[in-house]
C-alpha cells in the first residue's frame, strides 16, 4: 500500500470518528441526563416508604397528603435538613449528595420516623 493511500485512509478514519463524536454530542445535548428524583408520601401519620434507598445526587421530595400538618426533620445534629410545617399537599425537597443512612422524623409527631439510605 502506498504512503498516499495510507494517508487517505487515515484521513477518512479520522473524519468518520469526528462525525460519530458530533452525532453523539448532539444526542446528549438533545437528551440531557435527568437528575434522579424520589418521592415520599406523608399520610395517616406515616412516611411512605419507611425506608427509601437512593443513589447519591438524588433529590427526595416529601408530599404531605395528610389532613394535618407535618414536618420532615433529620435526626443528626446539626440538622442536615429541616422542613417548615407542611400543610396538606405542600412539598419539601432535599438533595442527598453523600452515601450514608439518614434517619428523620416529624417534629410535631415524633413517633413518625423513617430513613433515607444513600448508596
Count of other CB atoms within 10 angstroms of residue 92: 21
Q: Which three cell numbers stand for residue 58?
A: 438524588
Q: Does domain 37-118 have CATH number 2.60.40.420?
A: yes
Helix or strand (DSSP H, E) at 5:
helix 3-30
- DSSP H helical ranges for 31-115: none
Task: Please give the pLDDT value at position 99.
Answer: 97
The b-or-e profile of 44-54 (16+ CB within 10 A means b, else e) is eebbeeeebeb
Structure pTM? 0.73
Q: What percent of the chain has pLDDT over 70?
A: 72
What residue segments make up the domains of the chain, in order of their start? 1-33, 37-118
pLDDT at 47 over 90: yes
Helix or strand (DSSP H, E) at 43:
strand 37-43
Kindly report, residue by residue over 48-101, the tens digit of the pLDDT.
999 999 999 999 999 999 999 999 999 998 899 999 999 999 999 999 999 999
Kindly report, residue by residue over 103-114, the tens digit of the pLDDT.
999 999 999 999
Amino acid at each position: 500500500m502506498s504512503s498516499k493511500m495510507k494517508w487517505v485512509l487515515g484521513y477518512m478514519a479520522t473524519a468518520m470518528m469526528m462525525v460519530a463524536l458530533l452525532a453523539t454530542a448532539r444526542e446528549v445535548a438533545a437528551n440531557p441526563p435527568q437528575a434522579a428524583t424520589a418521592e415520599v408520601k406523608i399520610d395517616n401519620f406515616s412516611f411512605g416508604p419507611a425506608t427509601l434507598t437512593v443513589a447519591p445526587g438524588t433529590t427526595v421530595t416529601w408530599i404531605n397528603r395528610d389532613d394535618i400538618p407535618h414536618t420532615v426533620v433529620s435526626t443528626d445534629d446539626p440538622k442536615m435538613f429541616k422542613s417548615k410545617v407542611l400543610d396538606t399537599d405542600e412539598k419539601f425537597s432535599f438533595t442527598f449528595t453523600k452515601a450514608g443512612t439518614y434517619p428523620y422524623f416529624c417534629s410535631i409527631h415524633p413517633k413518625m420516623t423513617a430513613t433515607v439510605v444513600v448508596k
